[in-house]
């Protein structure tokens, strides 16, 4: 009489039967292993997308509204996403901070190809903000892929506001709070690589841009010298005015002895102070 064999699971994960015979674990084919790996990668991407869109758990003072998270300030530090942390103040505890949602990674489709290393990737900082196909591993924050403010870009590359926004295509940028004063307006940060390409479109070649930069420097020096000369002239005028004082006292004539002129039959007297001569005749 045959006995039914029940399959049990050993603690170390090797399948065996009740009669003690260890049976080998069935092997997966290459196609099955590839499918399992694809499912695992997709699950990780979905989890990462959910975490990036909802960084804080539900039920702890958060309300979801559309494309933003309204986080209640309940005594914790809130990451504003603008480069600094926001602490709870002494105001109303029901004050809410608008937290923008970060878009999740793009699922499916052909992967992007990095311009630096040639490897494929799904998402990166430069591709998301500046539409530049460079992976995060090849991103260089010190030289090639450094960010530059709009003011520095205008001064260094002699560009105007319309060159950034109205000339097609408009340059991509990100906004950040001003590190010098949070009450000032947000500053725009552009990718230096894109600014250099736009400058070549405006000026044609680096030599022309360098000549324009030198001419601007000459004009700036002329303006400085002109302002300096005007200040010196005003200072000399002020010093000259302070040294010269007008005599407002009334002059009293002091006449000497009178003289008689026989030809004209006239008498005259001369002031010793102002050399004034008074002529008269006696009756």
187, part of any domain: yes
Q: How many CB atoms lie within 10 A of CB 131?
A: 11
- Can you give the residue range of the structural domain that contains 96? 62-101
Residue predicted with more confidence, 227 or 282: 227
CATH of the domain at 155: 3.90.530.10
Query: Which range, of 81-85, 132-136, 192-196, 215-219, averages the lowest pLDDT?
Result: 81-85
Q: Of 176, 208, 240, which closes a domain?
A: 208
Helix (H) or strand (E) holding 38: helix 30-53
Residues 191 and 144 occupy one common structural domain: yes
Mean pLDDT of the region 189-203? 92
The pLDDT tens digits of the residues spanning 235-260 come to 888 887 666 666 677 888 888 888 88
Answer yes or no: is 278 within a domain.
no
Domain assignment present for residue 49? The answer is no
Beta pairing, strands 277-280 & 266-270: antiparallel
Q: Are residues 85 and 147 in the same domain?
A: no
Residues 126 and 94 in one domain: no
How many angstroms separate the CA atoms of 124 and 112, rounded? 10
Last residue of a domain, one of 208, 242, 268: 208
pLDDT at 244: 64
Highest-confidence segment of 25-39, 207-221, 262-276: 207-221
pLDDT tens digits for range 79-88: 555 555 555 4
Reduced to 3 states (helix: H, G, I; strand: E, B; else coil), residue 152 is: helix
Tell whether 144 and 185 lie within a shared domain.
Answer: yes
In a domain, 67, yes or no: yes
Same domain, 88 and 170: no
- 149 and 93 in a common domain: no
Residue that is last in its domain, among 208, 228, 261: 208
Q: Name the maximum alpha-carbon separation found in the chain.
A: 183
- Give domain status of residue 18, yes or no: no
Render pLDDT for 98-119 as a digit per residue (tens, 0 to 9).
Answer: 444 555 555 556 788 898 888 8
119 and 204 in a single domain? The answer is yes
Tell whether 92 and 133 lie within a shared domain. no
pLDDT above 70 for 189 = yes
Whether residue 240 lies inside any domain: the answer is no
Size (the chain), residues: 283
For residues 149-184, b (16+ Cβ closer than 10 Å) or e, as one string? ebeebeeebbbeeebbeeeeeebebeeebeeeeeee
Considering the domain boundaries, does residue 106 fall inside one?
no
pLDDT score recorded for residue 243: 63
Check residue 61 and give its pLDDT.
42
Question: Do residue 138 and residue 91 come from a single domain?
Answer: no
258 within some domain: no
Q: Is 40 helix (H, G, I), strand (E, B) or coil?
A: helix
Mean pLDDT of the chain: 75
Counting the structural domains of the chain, the total is 2
Structure tokens at 8: 């049990």
Q: Are residues 76 and 141 in the same domain?
A: no
């Amino acid at each position: 009489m045959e006995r039914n064999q029940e399959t049990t699971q050993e603690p170390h994960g090797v399948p065996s039967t009740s009669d003690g015979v260890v049976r080998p674990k069935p092997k997966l084919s290459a196609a099955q292993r590839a499918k399992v790996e694809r499912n695992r990668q997709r699950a990780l991407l979905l989890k990462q997308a959910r975490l990036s869109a909802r960084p804080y758990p539900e039920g702890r003072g958060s309300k979801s509204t559309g494309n933003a998270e309204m986080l209640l300030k309940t005594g914790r530090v809130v990451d504003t996403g603008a480069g600094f942390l926001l602490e709870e103040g002494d105001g109303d505890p029901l004050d809410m901070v608008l937290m923008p949602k970060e878009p999740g990674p793009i699922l499916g489709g052909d992967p992007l190809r990095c311009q630096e290393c040639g490897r494929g990737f799904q998402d990166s900082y430069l591709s998301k903000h500046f539409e530049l196909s460079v992976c995060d591993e090849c991103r260089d924050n010190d030289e090639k892929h450094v960010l530059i403010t709009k003011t520095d870009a205008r001064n260094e590359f002699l560009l105007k506001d319309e060159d950034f926004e109205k000339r097609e295509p408009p340059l991509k940028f990100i906004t950040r709070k001003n590190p010098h004063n949070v009450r000032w307006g947000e500053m725009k940060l552009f990718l230096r690589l894109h600014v250099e390409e736009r400058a070549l479109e405006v000026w044609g070649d680096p030599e022309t841009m360098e000549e324009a930069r030198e001419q601007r420097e000459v004009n700036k020096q002329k303006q400085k010298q002109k302002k300096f000369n005007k200040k010196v002239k005003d200072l000399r005028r002020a010093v000259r005015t302070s040294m010269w004082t007008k005599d407002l006292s009334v002059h009293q004539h002091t006449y000497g002895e009178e003289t008689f002129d026989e030809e004209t039959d006239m008498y005259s007297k001369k002031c010793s102070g102002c050399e004034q001569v008074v002529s008269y005749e006696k009756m």
